[in-house]
Structure 1
Amino acid sequence: MNTRKIIFIVLFTTLGIVALQVKISNLAGSTANFTLFDAFAPIVGSFLGTAWGILSVVAMQVVNLFLHGNFNLDFGSIIRLIPTMFAVIYFARQSKINLVIPVLAILAFIAHPIGRTVWFYAMFWLIPLLMYPLYNKSLLARSLGATFCQVRFG
């Protein structure tokens, strides 16, 4: 890895930490906030690649936890990292996993007794499947797919 790429990764990570501090809105029924980071984190994978993108996003979120006084990396803190990591993976490259994961999410949702009663919510996960053929042609299609991938794991 060359010096230029390291500087780019450090710069991107620093900007991500700053973006985590910019609150856009509160999530209804929760004390959590939607931040500027949440809107732009998935694109990290297209700039840095899948592995470095995930590493950068995890670093941003861990530093943010420490900045807000959460020095205990418990299960709840770690599980909050998972949705964004999968959105980075989806946005980074087109692969068959982008088709498999929504299908598994639909099946898992409908297999749950409560999920069966509201089966129509599982139809949201058809969006990444419908956007897959347009992945390389449309940034909107790629963004929608990454967003619903993130929602799937959130």
Structure 2
Amino acid sequence: MSFLKKSYRTIACALITQLLGTFSISPILGTNFLSFNLTHALTPLTGFFGNGIHIVVAYMVHTAITGLYGSIGFNLFNHMPTFCGALFLATDSRFLKASISTLCIVMFLLHPIGRECAFYTLYWIPPLIISFLPRSPLFIQALGSTLTTHAVGSILWIYSHNTTVAFWQTLMCCVWIERLLFALVLAGSSYALHISIPFLKKIVSSKQLRSKLCPTGS
């Protein structure tokens, strides 16, 4: 498949997931105006349709379009976690996959508040392990992706907001439910797409064949 064709598919997937942003899943603790939605859950899905370069292209196009009705700087910040989650699925580099979580763990522990709740970084150990597994089932890949997204998002949050140890302790108790849900949604959607795409191709091919055999007006 050509680079351009893969890029189109990746960008289309990113734009479709953006349209799903109106469907909220759960509020983001610590804020009264942001919530997790289907966009956050499904944007890493683009990683199944291309390599790292395609993800970068899709990320830049997606940010530029959303920047038309908001701050480009905010959108770069807001979509960075899901970009890293998509990159986890797209790249074959074990080093790159593992380095994202490793860097997040180090940065979290370097923060004064993060140092006091080092236990929170346990959530980012699974992506490290998954990075070095030779062949992982779809759900395991999705879990590694969503936990990578969580790691990057947590770093951006702790360095941009005034948080407390109690805040991270509260999150520790509920993050696992949220991430399991996201992984299930991501894996289920990927499986559904892989099944439906060949089926849709057959429908399109049969319609094209029918139009050639029975042209209108003949």
- TM-score category of the 2 structures, normalised to the smaller one: 0.7 to 0.9
SS of residue in 2 equivalent to 1:20 = helix
User: Measured at CA, do residues 24 and 64 of structure 1 come closer, stay the same or move farther in structure 2, by a change above 3 Å?
Assistant: farther
- Measured in 1, the distance between the counterparts of 2:45 and 2:134 equals 13
Alignment of 1:37 with 2:39, yes or no, is yes
Alignment of 1:55 with 2:57, yes or no, is yes
TM-score with structure 2 setting the length: 0.59
User: Measured at CA, do residues 42 and 133 of structure 1 come closer, stay the same or move farther in structure 2, by a change above 3 Å?
Assistant: same
Name the stretch that deviates more: 129-138 or 106-115: 129-138
SS of residue in 2 equivalent to 1:94 = coil
Letter in 1 for 2:18: I
Name the stretch that deviates more: 110-119 or 10-19: 10-19
- Measured in 2, the distance between the counterparts of 1:86 and 1:40 equals 13
Letter in 1 for 2:109: I
The offset of 1:44, in angstroms, is 0.4
Aligned to 1:111: 110
Aligned to 1:93: 91
Aligned to 2:9: 8
- Measured in 2, the distance between the counterparts of 1:109 and 1:126 equals 13
SS of residue in 2 equivalent to 1:80 = helix
SS of residue in 2 equivalent to 1:28 = coil
Conserved 8 A contact 2:14-2:43: no
Give per-residue Cα distances to partners, 1:1-41, cap 9 Å, x unaligned: 57754653453244223222332332233211212121111
Name the stretch that deviates more: 110-119 or 38-47: 110-119
Aligned to 1:128: 127
Name the stretch that deviates more: 125-134 or 143-152: 125-134
Conserved 8 A contact 1:134-1:141: no
- Structure number, greater radius of gyration: 2
SS of residue in 1 equivalent to 2:22 = coil
CA RMSD, 1 decimal: 2.5
Gap runs ≥5 in structure 1: none
SS of residue in 2 equivalent to 1:108 = helix
Aligned to 1:26: 27
Conserved 8 A contact 1:45-1:54: no
Alignment of 1:17 with 2:15, yes or no, is no
User: Measured at CA, do residues 98 and 77 of structure 1 come closer, stay the same or move farther in structure 2, by a change above 3 Å?
Assistant: same
TM-score with structure 1 setting the length: 0.79
User: Measured at CA, do residues 77 and 139 of structure 1 come closer, stay the same or move farther in structure 2, by a change above 3 Å?
Assistant: same
The offset of 1:148, in angstroms, is 1.5
Conserved 8 A contact 1:99-1:128: yes
Letter in 2 for 1:123: L
Conserved 8 A contact 2:6-2:49: no
- Counting matched residue pairs gives 150
- Taking every aligned residue pair, what percent have the same amino acid on both sides? 23
4+ runs deviating over 4 angstroms: 1-7
